[in-house]
Amino acid sequence: MRRVGCTLVICPVVAVIQWAQEIERHTAKGSARVLLYHGARRGSQKYDFDTFDFVVTTYSTIEADYRKHIMPPKIRCEYCNKQFYPEKLKIHLRYYCGPDALRTEKQAKQKSKKWSDTKVKGKGKGKGKRKNGIEEEEEEDFEELGSKSRGKSPLHSVRWERIILDEAHFIKDRRCNTARAVFALESEYKWALSGTPLQNRVGELYSLYIATPILYGSASFEGRRAMTLLKEKVLKGIVLRRTKIGRAADLALPPKTVTLRRDSFDRNEMEFYEALYTQSCTQFDSYVVAGTLLNNYAHIFDLLTRLRQAVDHPYLVAFSKTAESQEGCKNQQNGAMESQCGICHELAEDVVVTSCDHVFCKTCLMEYSATLGNVSCPSCSKPLTVDLTTENSRRKVPANLKGGKRSGILARLQSLADFKTSTKIDALREEIRNMIEHDGSAKGIVFSQFTSFLDLIEFSLQRSGIKCVQLNGKMNMVEKGRAIDTFINDPDCRIFLMSLKAGGVALNLTVASHVFLMDPWWNPAVESQAQDRIHRIGQFKPIRSTRFVIKDTVEERILQLQEKKQLVFDG
């Protein structure tokens, strides 16, 4: 394998431009040659990596090239005409398709979600459009990846001097194709950078043990003894740990204050939430009575998501259902449709499409799989036959997908003049007013898991005269860069509304000094990553992070789950 003397940097999409800027900032002018290896047309060009010092790419790009060039091609099922990888085709034929297919006892108990029969009519596969002079990138269709002509992946055909994984926990699941794509790369040195290497369980460290593979059968221990051996025998020789507390003298970071703000519903919100909670309990009890509780995790997760959305704002539940019922008569008149995630019921960010034609956010599906250990589709319970990661959330969704959604929630409201805020939005506006009164130049970042909630917040803030910008997973790399640049350089832009999935990692936003976390996430490490967007080198103002929770709701149970996971991380 040909050796090259440059460094390959693999990072999230949102950090590509920032990596290029940081390299330019910390090197002599014109001394570092940087290649951004990204975009749908990258494969049509030939690269001489030896002419560059740094090659910056994304996890999704690595994974897409791995699928296209290295993974075995897909095979078409003779009964349904769908394409599957060889190992998945065996499962498909055994349980789901063909004259000899039999559903197992467990599968027979699983309740399939009822999706609208309306088919989304797209405009077909485009070759990329130009908007305002900027080319919108479109990644390869997942049904076609692995089926094209085989060849050498440019990134996998050379031996690198050094590989740097930024936010290395992106490969925490060693079974996913993103991790396999990274493992297939060869280099002299490997660096894995992460502020939160543990997200759910200790086993996630396996993917980061990139020096020498761990051999099975060498030893087996449990409990404290196992953790001691892991720390002393395995991690000690490869981990360089630098905590903010341990390096406080060098970093000289300002203090960070984290506040948990607990508010109570008003009367109308409480009635809405209690009605939804009662309905959810009834559904849950029906699974218990039928003895199918363990077979319907996906639907239970769906009930929890609805409750969490109702805590943020009743509109997130009420108007999403109204929009879904109104969609049927409009879909045939419109081609450019967005798709709704089958887990969080938001417009999908970083779209993942299963072979059963269901759409999910990449992060939602990864968290669902990591939390429940499930490898079946959350919507129809069929085995997942698609990897949990993909690139380019702006790519067009195939026309036969189920669960299409039109534009944002504001377009679905009956009248913006009658718009009502929620307890959380009122609490946020109060905190922002206090921030501005205390420091006239202060800026803040608002994180939420639901982009529809960010739309409601944006409307409320703009109506109050507060300028803000938004970053979410539906934006391409250029649009994200433009939003970041506006927030950093425009003194009148006080608030950055950010999707926790799209902007909670990799960014350097020390221009802000306040973080507002609107809804707790199942994983405390994700929230820690979000707070660290501003509490890092280059920050000189004291940091204040406010977490919003509504009393006597499902959010308090999520906080208890966070505390249990935090004990694992601290150990």
Q: What is the pLDDT of residue 399?
A: 41
309: domain CATH number?
Answer: 3.40.50.300
Neighbours of 166 (CB within 10 A): 22
Mean confidence (pLDDT) of the chain? 79
Same domain, 392 and 518: no
Asked whether residue 528 is domain-assigned, the answer is yes
Same domain, 348 and 209: no
Read off the tokens for 433. Answer: 């007013």
Between residues 198 and 326, which one has the greater pLDDT?
198
- pLDDT band at 448; cut points 50, 70, 90: very high
Q: What is the pLDDT of residue 519?
A: 95
SS (HEC) of 50-85: HHCCEEEEEHHHHHHHHHHHCCCCCEECCCCCCEEC
Cβ neighbors of 115 (< 8 A, separation 6 or more) are: 358, 379, 402, 403
Query: Where does a domain end: 216, 235, 254?
Result: 235
Is 528 strand, coil or helix? helix
Read off the tokens for 88. Answer: 């998945």
pLDDT at residue 209 greater than cutoff 50: yes
**Residue among 410, 407, 425 nearest 474 (CA):** 407
Q: What does the alpha-carbon distance between residue 60 and residue 10 come to, in Å, rounded to a whole number?
A: 9
Read off the tokens for 352. Answer: 């993942």
Distances (CA, A) of 295 to 99, 284, 371: 25, 12, 15
Residues forming beta bridges with residue 162, ordered by sequence position: 7, 189
- pLDDT band at 135; cut points 50, 70, 90: very low
Between residues 230 and 116, which one has the greater pLDDT?
230
Distances (CA, A) of 514 to 12, 509, 533: 23, 11, 10
Same domain, 29 and 113: no
Distances (CA, A) of 412 to 307, 317, 398, 403: 20, 12, 23, 16
Q: pLDDT tens digit string along 145-185?
A: 444 445 678 999 999 999 999 999 899 888 888 998 999 99
Strand segments (E) across 89-185:
130-131, 134-135, 158-166
Q: State the average pLDDT over residues 52-61.
A: 94
Distances (CA, A) of 201 to 22, 331, 447, 557, 564: 32, 42, 24, 19, 11
Residues forming beta bridges with residue 56, ordered by sequence position: 9, 36
Same domain, 416 and 515: yes
Rounded to 5°, angle at Cα 566 from 562 and 571: 160
Same domain, 49 and 196: yes
How far does Cα 36 stand from its chain's mean position?
22
Q: pLDDT tens digit string along 430-442?
A: 999 999 999 999 9
Phi-psi region for residue 357, left (φ > 0), alpha (ψ -120 to 50) or beta?
Answer: left
Q: What is the pLDDT of residue 407?
A: 54
Q: What is the pLDDT of residue 542?
A: 95
Q: pLDDT tens digit string along 217-241?
A: 455 555 667 667 777 677 777 788 8
Q: What is the pLDDT of residue 246?
A: 81
Same domain, 136 and 281: no
Domain extent, residue 85, equals 78-142+335-405
Q: What does the alpha-carbon distance between residue 239 and residue 334 come to, in Å, rounded to a whole number?
A: 53
Same domain, 470 and 365: no
Same domain, 374 and 437: no
Q: What percent of the chain lies above the pLDDT cut of 70?
A: 75
Same domain, 340 and 314: no
Q: State the average pLDDT over residues 232-251.
A: 79
Asked whether residue 465 is domain-assigned, the answer is yes
Strand segments (E) across 320-435:
338-339, 351-353, 359-361, 404-405
Asked whether residue 42 is domain-assigned, the answer is yes
Query: Where does a domain end: 385, 405, 425?
Result: 405
Cβ neighbors of 539 (< 8 A, separation 6 or more) are: 253, 254, 510, 513
Asked whether residue 241 is domain-assigned, the answer is no
pTM of the model: 0.70
Q: Are strands 54-58 and 404-405 parallel, antiparallel or unpaired?
A: unpaired
SS3 content of the chain, % helix, strand, coil (to 5): 40, 15, 45
Across 20-24, 369-373, 517-521, least confident range: 369-373
168: domain CATH number?
Answer: 3.40.50.10810
Q: What is the pLDDT of residue 478?
A: 86
Q: What is the pLDDT of residue 198?
A: 77
Across 27-36, 194-203, 285-294, least confident range: 194-203
Indicate the DSSP class of residue 167.
T
Q: What does the alpha-carbon distance between residue 298 and residue 492 come to, in Å, rounded to a whole number?
A: 43
Is 141 strand, coil or helix? coil
Q: What is the pLDDT of residue 203?
A: 76
Asked whether residue 147 is domain-assigned, the answer is no
Between residues 234 and 92, which one has the greater pLDDT?
92
Q: What is the pLDDT of residue 404?
A: 37
Q: What is the pLDDT of residue 410?
A: 84
Which secondary structure element, helix H or strand E, spans residue 483, and what is its range?
Answer: helix 477-489
Asked whether residue 533 is domain-assigned, the answer is yes
pLDDT at residue 134 greater than cutoff 90: no
Residues forming beta bridges with residue 196, ordered by sequence position: none
Q: What is the pLDDT of residue 127?
A: 40
**Residue among 28, 14, 26 nearest 166 (CA):** 14
Q: What does the alpha-carbon distance between residue 165 and residue 190 come to, in Å, rounded to a whole number?
A: 8
pLDDT at residue 103 greater than cutoff 80: no
Same domain, 135 and 165: no
Q: What does the alpha-carbon distance between residue 26 and residue 28 come to, in Å, rounded to a whole number?
A: 7
Cβ neighbors of 194 (< 8 A, separation 6 or more) are: 165, 167, 168, 169, 208
Q: What does the alpha-carbon distance between residue 558 and residue 526 come to, in Å, rounded to a whole number?
A: 13
Residue 353 burial by Cβ neighbours in a 10 Å radius (0-12, 13-18, 19+):
buried
Neighbours of 240 (CB within 10 A): 6
Across 26-35, 78-87, 209-218, 283-292, least confident range: 209-218
Neighbours of 280 (CB within 10 A): 18
Domain count, the chain: 3
Read off the tokens for 450. Answer: 């639901």
Same domain, 450 and 524: yes
Q: State the average pLDDT over residues 1-22.
A: 91
